[in-house]
Amino acid sequence: MNLLKHDYSYLFRLLVTGVILLAGITLPISGQVTLRYASNETVTWQEAIDMYQWLDDQYEDARLLEIGWTDAGRPLHLFVIDRGRQFSPQEIRESGKSILFINNGIHPGEPCGVDASLKLASDLLSGKDSCAHYLDHTVIAIVPIFNVGGALNRGSFHRANQNGPLEHGFRGNARNLDLNRDFIKLDSRNTQSLVPLLRSWDPDIFVDTHTSNGSDYPYTITLINSHSQRHEPSQARFLDSTLLPFLFEGMDRSPYLMSPYVWSYKRTPDQGIIAFMDYPRYTSGYVSLYNTLAFTVETHMFKSFEDRVLSTWHLLRETLRFSGLYGSALAEVKRAAWQEKMMRQEFTLQWKLDTSRSDTINFSGYEVKQRKSKVTGQQNYYFDRSAPWEKEIPYYKYFKPIITASVPEYYIVPSAWGEVVERLQLNGVKMDQLSSDSIMELDIYYIESYKTVDRPYNGHYRHYDVETRELRDKVQLLAGDWIIPSKQRAIEYLVQTLEPKGYDSFFSWNFFDEVLFRNEYFSPYIFEETAEDLLKNDPDLKKEFKEKKKEDSKFAENGYQQLRFIYERSPWSESTYMRYPVYRLNR
Ligand SMILES: [Zn+2]
């Protein structure tokens, strides 16, 4: 925005305002922030962008940036409020301010945060909001609507279990991807645009706004925090003992009740609720790999849209207030967390809920009762709002690590795996290319076994229950292959994505499926004599073969299987079959 353009638009608005006043009507000026959530309506994508553009034109402390592209063929925007008027993450960071990053409309059917952020931005910039002075210490960055394609797919029937707004967007993006599963695989252009942005802005606090599904209860708003066990100890302590209590106490003073996210341990909340383990596919799980404290706000689907917007707005204000009051503590624990992360010898790749441990929380719910369905004639449960209860329930928030991986000095990714390399680059991973072909002694994984889902999940036939065998051997590397030191800001990102057993590893998301295929094979009639020689010259193989025949009667009757058994243990069997193509180097 240059000054000249700004002056012109200002004069134009004065003129339009004059004409409207003269005409005696009060039409909103195009783009002005006029929200309709009280009438159960949310803004369209175009309206949201126009309103942010209007704020940009109106206020020198605000700027609307185009920061990349989306699958819908429209740009992705970021709206920044910075009293220092720098608008560049590097300069903001140097000024010592905290960065609060708010992501909206990842699920456009859940648009409370879209309207709440517009209200927040508009009221802060106009000075109407008493929290405006916290902007002296905090810069706010808002993604107006992340899933642009989903927001353009507007209708009234995308959310069967939700009370409005009248029209809303769809969960899938223009490619039908759920973008809140896309932060490692990066299938969408939306996420490919946002991830480098998150790396350069490196927020202190990140908030993703949603509406929940599930049980019925009195709370208007619920909160998922990036799981403290996934944070470094100093940040985990700060999250549990300072930040979370601050937000819950703040919301106690608002008109809206807030609860931890309600994910029932059994069918309904009265027997306890479980903390959400946010793996890196989710926004909060992804940003917390880089020591950003993150929240997923889930308003309750049956409450009015107005209450959902306003409760989200209250929570965003409380988050801003925290950031303004605790800016130096936030920076301090983040510094400590980076020291701790860099010292890590291992990371947990997969967790399991520890059902033997729980905290106790006070919870308000509705009695669950049974009634006969008029549609099916079968018994169905329902929440009886005329029978509220309040009692202490268990809060299962502790997880046990079940799979861990040590941190190697280096990972080596052959340049052949370009799609993986591109994703590492989008994450700002520092890496060097080998200048010449060389043979190196490396730690190698062979994939021993894995399971695969029957139906594609977000475009992928995901693998799980991966078992590996590890060995050290010489590997031929080529000039251009990538050597990646682990001791860098992406340390945890590298371990979580490059270790094949990682819950959201590149292996699990099918980036290395090519190695699960044999290129070469044998013809039984030709291999017969070779097999005979192999058994003659290798007593261990002969013993293993005999035992297998004795133990496995089907095998003993199947000539092809027997030859294959010998082929797979022979030098002719390709060594790259099932060999995981990312290597670990420890010197
Ligand atoms: Zn959602």
State in Å: Cα 109 to ligand 1 middle: 8
Query: If pLDDT is split at 50, 70 and 90, which confidence band does 164 have?
Result: confident
Q: Is a pLDDT exceeding 60 seen at residue 179?
A: yes
The pLDDT tens digits for 367-404 are: 999 999 999 999 999 999 999 999 999 999 999 999 99
State in Å: Cα 299 to ligand 1 middle: 10
Q: Is a pLDDT exceeding 50 seen at residue 7?
A: no
Query: If pLDDT is split at 50, 70 and 90, which confidence band does 470 have?
Result: very high
State in Å: Cα 419 to ligand 1 middle: 28
pLDDT of residue 30: 56
State in Å: Cα 111 to ligand 1 middle: 9
Q: Is a pLDDT exceeding 70 seen at residue 38?
A: yes
State in Å: Cα 210 to ligand 1 middle: 4
State in Å: Cα 160 to ligand 1 middle: 14
Query: If pLDDT is split at 50, 70 and 90, which confidence band does 162 have?
Result: confident
Q: Exposed, middle or buried: residue 530 (CB in 10 Å: 0-12, 13-18, 19+)?
A: middle
Picking from 62, 86, 151, the residue whose alpha carbon sits closest to that of residue 113 is 151
Of the chain, the percentage scoring pLDDT greater than 90 comes to 90
Q: Is a pLDDT exceeding 80 seen at residue 48?
A: yes
User: How far lies 366's CA from each of 177, 216, 389, 421, 580, in Å?
Assistant: 35, 7, 6, 51, 51
pLDDT of residue 5: 42
State in Å: Cα 83 to ligand 1 middle: 31
Of the chain, the percentage scoring pLDDT greater than 70 comes to 95
pLDDT of residue 267: 85
State in Å: Cα 110 to ligand 1 middle: 6
Q: Is a pLDDT exceeding 70 seen at residue 77?
A: yes
Q: From the centroid of its chain, how far is CA 547?
A: 49
The reported pTM is: 0.92
Q: Quick check: helix, strand or coil at residue 464?
A: strand
Picking from 51, 74, 73, the residue whose alpha carbon sits closest to that of residue 64 is 51
State in Å: Cα 211 to ligand 1 middle: 6
The pLDDT tens digits for 261-303 are: 999 999 889 999 999 999 999 999 999 999 999 999 999 999 9
* pLDDT mean over 528-553: 96
Q: Where would I find the beta strands (DSSP E) of 397-516?
A: 399-406, 410-413, 432-433, 438-452, 463-477, 482-485
Residues in CB range of 47: below 8 A, 6 or more apart: none
**How far is 580 from 366, CA to CA, in rounded Å?**
51
Mean of the per-residue pLDDT values of the chain = 94
pLDDT of residue 15: 52
The pLDDT tens digits for 363-377 are: 999 999 999 999 999
The pLDDT tens digits for 88-133 are: 999 999 999 999 999 999 999 999 999 999 999 999 999 999 999 9
Q: Is a pLDDT exceeding 60 seen at residue 17?
A: no
Q: Is a pLDDT exceeding 80 seen at residue 1?
A: no
**How far is 151 from 107, CA to CA, in rounded Å?**
8
State in Å: Cα 431 to ligand 1 middle: 35
What residues flank ion ligand 1 with Cβ within 5 A? 107, 110, 210
**How far is 190 from 385, CA to CA, in rounded Å?**
40
State in Å: Cα 140 to ligand 1 middle: 22
Q: Is a pLDDT exceeding 90 seen at residue 160?
A: no
Q: Where would I find the beta strands (DSSP E) of 317-458?
A: 346-353, 359-372, 379-396, 399-406, 410-413, 432-433, 438-452
Q: What region does 443 belong to: left with phi over 0, alpha with psi -120 to 50, or beta?
A: beta
